[in-house]
Structure 1
Amino acid sequence: MPDTLSALMLRVQGGDQAAFTMLVRALEGPGLRLADRTLHDRAAAEDVVQTALSRLWTMADRFDAGRGSVSSWYRRMIVNLCLDRHRARRPMVAIEEATELPSQAASPEAEAIDNDQKRRLMAAMAQLAPRQRAALAMFHGEGLSVAEIAAALEATPKAIEGLLGRARMEIKALIMAQEEETQ
């Protein structure tokens, strides 16, 4: 698929709207998942994806296949837009409202436990720095490699490993602190 995306991007650089439509179909879903996991706000994630896709079209001539793949370039746009959006605003919704997720649990007890764990995790994630959240979302949510995340965040793989390690330790500490508060 990467070769297909590169071929499509070359056609987009030539102004081919049909190629752009195919590129949008390939990139929109993964971009929305990444933005949603990073921002924890579906409407904002949709705005970020719309902006990133618009930039793919208007800035197509800036794409250089020698510097990376189309999907890495697009992910970098998504991450940068998410970080910009985070810097521009402060959370306005209570964490309890933002972290309520529907559960697929069979019994009410299992559903309550699952919801509590998700709430604690989301509350801890919301307290992380935006780059840590983005890195965790790409690694655990999207299944990207450390090298791919490094390209998206414009960092070295070693720096990303450290970022992920610190983020995991911070989440663990935050969740443990939450558990101590409830006991």
Structure 2
Amino acid sequence: MTRPSPIDPSSLMADVAAGDDGAFRALTQTLYGPALGTAMKVMGSRAEAEDAVQTALVKLWKTADRFDPERAKVSTWFRRIVVNCCIDRKRAMKPVEDIDEIHDAASDEAGPEDATGDMMRDRRVNAAVMELPARQRAAITLFYGDGATMSEIAEALDTTPKAIEGLLARARAELARRLAPLKEELEA
């Protein structure tokens, strides 16, 4: 049995720009999984992440003619759309007032078997990340969660690698401040 040859996303983009529904479905199958993973890291909720990716796919369909294969890979270009959709959704959402509310809500959902120290620590870290400003959260999740390079993150956030260094530095400093009590608990 021969394996089908991999589909070139760049050639699919040309077909999508020409209005080819089949090419759009094929491209969606290629991009959806990685995009959902990125969106979940930025949004913190699968439902919100799915909505953001759907919005991004609509934007991809509408703006496919703007894609320039000389400037970026399709996956990088689409990641930028996804991250921007996530940031827009986060800005539109009501901010959580207290980090303990997130922690308490997560604890309410967990059963007694989930009450291990590692899980509680992870929840607190995730809650602290979710409290970061949207661009800092996007930068830190793309860097640590997706392993994206400074250049890839800069492209996704429409800025420079130097600006990403600043975003990451501010995010790390804020996380260190927010997680200082956790660090003290772990050291005790």
What is the alpha-carbon distance in structure 1 between the residues aligned to residue 185 and residue 53 of structure 2? Answer: 38
Q: SS at the partner of 2:147? A: coil
Is 1:74 aligned to residue 43 of structure 2?
A: no
CA distances 1:106-138 after superposition (whole Å, capped 9, x unpaired): xx6x96111121122012112211111101111
Runs of 4+ that moved beyond 4 A: 97-102, 178-183
Compute the TM-score of the two structures, normalised by the length of structure 2.
0.82
Residue type of the alignment partner of 1:150? A
What is the alpha-carbon distance in structure 1 between the residues aligned to residue 7 and residue 177 of structure 2? Answer: 43
Unaligned runs of 5+ in 2: 1-5
Unaligned runs of 5+ in 1: 103-107
Is 1:121 aligned to residue 152 of structure 2?
A: no
Is 1:7 aligned to residue 11 of structure 2?
A: yes
What is the alpha-carbon distance in structure 1 between the residues aligned to residue 153 and residue 87 of structure 2? Answer: 14
Cα displacement (A) at 1:15 = 2.0
How many correspondences in the alignment?
177
What is the alpha-carbon distance in structure 2 between the residues aligned to residue 164 and residue 124 of structure 1? Answer: 14
Q: SS at the partner of 1:59? A: helix
Is 1:143 aligned to residue 150 of structure 2?
A: no
Q: SS at the partner of 2:117? A: helix
**Aligned pairs for 1:23-34 within 5 A:** 23-34=27-38
Is 1:157 aligned to residue 161 of structure 2?
A: yes
Residue type of the alignment partner of 2:103? E
CA distances 1:56-107 after superposition (whole Å, capped 9, x unpaired): 11221122223322112211111111111111111469312564597xxxxx
Is 1:48 aligned to residue 55 of structure 2?
A: no
Q: Which residue number corresponds to residue 134 of structure 2?
A: 130
Match of 1:95 among 102, 105, 121: 102
Is 1:86 aligned to residue 90 of structure 2?
A: yes
TM-aligned CA distance change 1:144 to 1:179, over 3 Å: closer
* Mapped contact 1:35–1:78 kept (Cα < 8 A): yes
Q: Which residue number corresponds to residue 105 of structure 1?
A: none
Q: SS at the partner of 1:23? A: helix
Compute the TM-score of the two structures, normalised by the length of structure 1.
0.84
Residue type of the alignment partner of 2:33? G
Residue type of the alignment partner of 1:115? M
- Shifted more, 43-52 versus 172-181: the winner is 172-181
What is the alpha-carbon distance in structure 2 between the residues aligned to residue 32 and residue 97 of structure 1? Answer: 26
What is the alpha-carbon distance in structure 1 between the residues aligned to residue 182 and residue 86 of structure 2? Answer: 27
